[in-house]
Chains A and B, each alone.
Chain A
Amino acid sequence: MAEFRGYRRENGSIGIRNHVAILPTSVTASALAERIATEAGEGARATPHQMGVQQLEPARKQTERVLVGTGRNPNVGAALVVELGTESIDAEAIADQISESGKPVETLSIRDSGGTTPAIKSGKKQVAALLDAVKTTRREKADASELIFAVECGGSDATSGIAANPAVGNACDRVVESGGTACFSETPEFIGAEHILADRCTDERTKAKLLERVEERENLAHLMGVDFRGAQPSPGNQEGGLTTIEEKSLGAISKGGTTSVRDIVEYAEPLPKGSGLVLMDTPGYDVESVVGKVAGGAQVVAFTTGRGSTTGNPIAPVIKVTGNPLTWKRMSNNMDINASTVIDGESLATVGEQIYETLLAVADGQRTGSERRRLEEFAINEIQPQQLDDSRRYAR
């Protein structure tokens, strides 16, 4: 049995990092959350984002799901929820939901503190106490079946579909075989390959939901009277040899491996552990997509790139895998795994095993390139309710 050493949380989940998360409830508290994290030092991680103080209900619910899910992620040992004080999202309610997982959670209101200077002072004090509290947790033995492994791609080119994605897919198969959960997302990048995924669904409900979600995403293009060309594939994808969304999708889905699709969950919805391959319905924007899966509980992410993406995440380590030999050479500082050896004849199984071994080492505490460089992009997907409503109508 493959094992690693992680941080056991009170609810039984296992973290591979021991962060104190500083979660702003809106953009107005985001700069301050970042400031507190920087001043509090190593171990504190802020999740600044762009969402406003008032959001329409579906958008607000999704933001709440992301904040609660991020706070509940097992890599988080304790959390501070920060608000300006005017947000429609209630910081206390978010804190309560996070603390159900048994971890210490505090709240901070900038207005009630008397402005930013006293708020930073109080926030630093709160985070220092939370850092002290999480320090008492020690790494202990855990099983690979307790891992939720998220996979993502960004800055794709032709090497993604022939080398990096199938190699990461091989690692996904190994996670599933070990009894864990693997998850990939980015619904627009199922377009043209959805029939293959549909055939792999274990039940009719999952199959119907998957096809419905793909149709909704495609109908957004119809709704706006535009076509995907130009944006999907992006100009960079096209320069890298990808001609159509179908070609991009057929390459993209190989990063999920070859096992059955057990379910498709909503953006930032909890990903069940020990569940095999599960999809998440997210946009194609990679930062928002990673954030959705980490809010769903993924402890670790593998991110494939052909052209060279550098993005990370504040809560989950991101393992960068490239299949492009030039990107490996030029951007080796930002890359963790060279999958371009596949093009030279190395087997997908060999590189897949290397990715799986790296995944276990990272779970054990080994830091990734994006962690060492503190690349911690965070963005929440904003629902445009009118658009969604209309796209569903067209879908009928």
Chain B
Amino acid sequence: MKGRIIDDVALIMTERDTVATALTDLDDGKHIRTDEGSITLQEAIPFGHKFAIQRMEADSRVQKYGEVIGTASDTIRVGEWVHTHNCESTRGRGDVSKSAVATQSKGVDPE
């Protein structure tokens, strides 16, 4: 497996990542030892789900695989669950860009 396992229970895929993936169901309040110290989970994290390993301010990038997987929609504290409630995709967003696209395409010759 690519990455670094912390405390036998979670995976950090690259050193640029801001989240770790739970390799087993993790309980709320669990302390996870890391090279830098420890992380206390702020809620239960199911197997395969992610938690923050560093604080992320609203609108900042969420990184996994060393790449951007979305934007924090709110402040995310260390140990919080990171999922659709606080991390938004920036791609395939027709809901937010439709009017912009429609305006741009107005008057454009289809040929």
- Of B11, B89, B93, B98, the residue contacting A162 (CB under 8 A) is B11
Q: Evaluate contact between B95 and A225: CB separation under 8 angstroms.
A: yes
- Does A162 contact B94, Cβ atoms closer than 8 Å? no
What are the residues of chain B within 8 A of A285 when measuring CB–CB?
Answer: none
- 17 A-B residue pairs with Cβ-Cβ distance under 8 Å, sorted by A, are A193-B67, A196-B67, A227-B94, A229-B88, A240-B48, A243-B87, A243-B89, A244-B84, A246-B89, A247-B65, A250-B64, A324-B48, A342-B1, A348-B1, A348-B2, A393-B105, A396-B108
Instruction: Give the CA-CA distance A224 to B97 in the complex, in Å.
Output: 11
Please give, as numbers and ranges, the residues of chain B lying within 8 Å of A191 by CB-CB distance.
91-92
Name the one of B67, B98, B105 contacting A246, with C-beta atoms under 8 angstroms. B67
Contacting pair B48 A241 (CB below 8 A) = yes
Chain B 72-111 interface 0/1 with A at a Cβ cutoff of 8 Å (1 = within)? 0000000000111001111111111110010001001010
Other-chain residue from A157, A218, A225, A232 in contact with B48 (beta carbon distance below 8 A): A157
Complex CA distance for A221 and B110, rounded to whole angstroms: 19
Contact between A393 and B93, CB atoms less than 8 A apart: no
A341: nearest chain-B partner, CB-CB: B1
The answer to whether A222 and B98 have CB atoms under 8 Å apart is yes
Q: Are B88 and A244 in contact (CB under 8 A)?
A: yes
Also in contact, A246 and B70, with CB within 8 A (given A162-B11, A396-B108)? yes
Q: A161 — which chain B residues lie within 8 A by C-beta?
A: 65
Chain A window 136-171, contacts with chain B (Cβ cutoff 8 Å), 1 for yes, 0 for no: 000000000000000000000111011100100000
Q: Are A222 and B89 in contact, CB atoms less than 8 angstroms apart?
A: no
Q: Which residues of B contact A159 (CB under 8 A)?
A: 48
**Interface positions of A (Cβ within 8 A of B):** 157-159, 161-163, 166, 188, 191-193, 196, 218-219, 221-229, 232, 238, 240-241, 243-247, 250-251, 306, 324, 326, 342-343, 345, 348, 393-394, 396
The 9 closest A-B pairs by CB, nearest first: A158-B48, A241-B48, A228-B92, A244-B89, A247-B69, A221-B94, A225-B98, A227-B95, A244-B70
In angstroms, Cα B13 to Cα A27, docked, is 47
Q: In the complex, how many angstroms separate the beta carbon of B50 from the nearest chain A beta carbon?
A: 7
Known: A162-B2, A162-B13. 13 other contacts (CB 8 A): A166-B2, A218-B92, A219-B101, A227-B93, A238-B83, A238-B84, A241-B22, A243-B82, A244-B70, A244-B88, A251-B65, A306-B48, A394-B101
Q: Are B21 and A229 in contact (CB under 8 A)?
A: no
Whether B26 is near chain A, meaning CB under 8 Å from some CB there, is no
Asked if B31 is at the interface (CB within 8 A of a chain A CB), the reply is no
Chain A residue at smallest Cβ distance from B67: A250
Once A246-B90, A250-B67 are accepted as A-B contacts, the answer to whether A241 and B50 lie under 8 Å apart by CB is yes
> Which of A158, A250, A306, A345 contacts B1, CB < 8 Å?
A345
**B19 CB to nearest chain A CB (Å):** 9
* Pair B1/A221 contact, Cβ less than 8 Å: no
Interface residues of B in 16-69 (CB under 8 A from A): 21-23, 46-50, 62, 64-65, 67-69
Question: Which residues does chain B contribute within 8 Å of A244, judged by CB atoms?
Answer: 69-70, 84, 87-89, 91
CB distance from A236 to the nearest CB of B (A): 12
CB distance from A385 to the nearest CB of B (A): 14
* Chain B positions within 8 Å of A166 at CB level: 1-2
List A contacts of B92 (CB < 8 A): 188, 191, 218, 221, 227-229, 232, 245
